[in-house]
Amino acid sequence: MPMQSDIEQLFDSKPGSYSEADFDLFRQFKAMLNAGQARAAEPDAASPIGWKVNGWVKKGILLGFRMGAVVDMSAHPARQPWFDKATYPVKTFTAASGVRIVPGGSSIRDGCFVGRGVTCMPPMYINVGAYVDDGVMVDSHALVGSCAQIGKNCHISAASQIGGVLEPVGALPVIVEDDVLVGGNCGVYEGTVVKRRAVLGTGTILNRSTPVYDLVRGEVLHAANDSPLVIPEGAVVVAGARAVTQGPGKDWGVSLYTPVIVKYRDAKTDAKIQLEDLLR
């Protein structure tokens, strides 16, 4: 598409100064991010993991940081000073946007998509390039990092961290598919893919380095060099431990943290984690 080639050319050329036409191109690109028409990653049925990276979108986001000058964005210069890139102010909403932003100190950066029916409990943060689909609850002290992709009707519970990945541009961001519950104080990092209807119990940490032990299917899930850690559809994952089996760690009775799949989602799980429609 013309937008893609123009963004990539401007990113790769690194001119000494940017023209008004360059800034206009970036404004058009950012409008596409805000509308959900440009995504850092998108579903791809041909991919083994069901997703593909759009590196040119990440280039466009990085281009905004390169182009922008640091300006005063203070709500009050003395009481609440803010200084950031002029290209990335806070995102603009109206009541017609259909997003609940509960008063109390949340921040959503321009250049991200936030769908209808999303509820933002203070204080929470959504970074540039993120895609947060309809009906999501982002609870207090939760972070949705740059370029993270959150599916429909997910619950990102209090103090959970959905990591962001901007560089390298070819790296897959964190993906959380539809109807996932991310429990309180969870962390999902380094391009992990959480498939639809999975449940992450309180305090679960997922990254490329730590294996996941599936007690139901009798297998161990790993991230490979060319593929991320993928949590299967409907998996219920909790924080667990595995014993060190050699050396001083074995002698001392040391265990290491590891996530464990203890079951797959069923009617009992659904009833336990169901959210009241009145909250949305």
Summarize pLDDT for 150-171 with one digit per residue, the tens. Answer: 999 999 999 999 998 998 999 9
Distance, CA of 210 to CA of 196 (rounded, Å)? 21
Q: What percent of the chain has pLDDT over 90?
A: 89
Predicted TM-score (pTM) of the model is 0.94
Question: Residue 258: what are its φ and ψ, rounded to 5°?
Answer: -155, 145
Please state, as a whole number, how many other Cβ atoms lie within 10 Å of the Cβ of residue 82: 14
Helix (H) or strand (E) holding 6: helix 2-13
Q: Does the structure show a pLDDT above 90 at 276?
A: no
Q: Does the structure show a pLDDT above 60 at 266?
A: yes
Domain boundaries, the chain: 2-70, 97-266
- State whether the Cα torsion 9-14-127-82 is positive or negative: negative
Q: Does the structure show a pLDDT above 90 at 275?
A: no
Determine if the peptide bond prior to 81 is cis (ω within 30°): no
The β-bridge partners of 210 are none
Strands (E), 109-229: 113-114, 119-120, 125-126, 131-132, 137-138, 143-144, 149-150, 155-156, 161-162, 175-176, 181-182, 187-188, 193-194, 199-200, 205-206, 212-214, 219-221
Q: Which of 236, 275, 272 is nearest to 119 (CA)?
A: 275
What lies within 8 Å, CB to CB, of 26 at 6+ separation is: 60, 63, 64, 67, 87
Radius of gyration for the chain, computed over Cα atoms and rounded to the nearest angstrom: 20
pLDDT tens digits, one per residue of 40-60? 999 999 999 999 999 999 999
Please state the rounded mean pLDDT for residues 8-31.
96
Amino acid at 79: R
- Judge contact between 237 and 198, C-beta under 8 A: yes
pLDDT of residue 87: 97
**97-266 has CATH 3.40.50.720 classification:** no
pLDDT of residue 278: 52
Please state, as a whole number, how many other Cβ atoms lie within 10 Å of the Cβ of residue 92: 9
For every residue of 21-41, DSSP letters joined together read HHHHHHHHHHHHHHHTSS-SE
- Judge contact between 183 and 203, C-beta under 8 A: yes
Q: Does the structure show a pLDDT above 80 at 184?
A: yes
Q: Which of 132, 74, 69, 68 is nearest to 100 (CA)?
A: 132
DSSP 168: S
Please state the rounded mean pLDDT for residues 185-207.
98
pLDDT of residue 277: 56
DSSP 80: B
The β-bridge partners of 236 are 199, 263
Please provide the CATH number assigned to the domain covering 2-70: 1.10.166.10
Q: What percent of the chain has pLDDT over 70?
A: 97
pLDDT tens digits, one per residue of 70-112? 999 998 888 989 999 999 999 999 999 999 999 999 999 999 9
pLDDT of residue 154: 97
Q: What is the mean pLDDT of the chain?
A: 95
- Judge contact between 120 and 108, C-beta under 8 A: yes
Helix, strand or coil for residue 261? strand
Confidence grade of residue 280 (pLDDT, cut at 50, 70, 90) = low
pLDDT of residue 164: 87
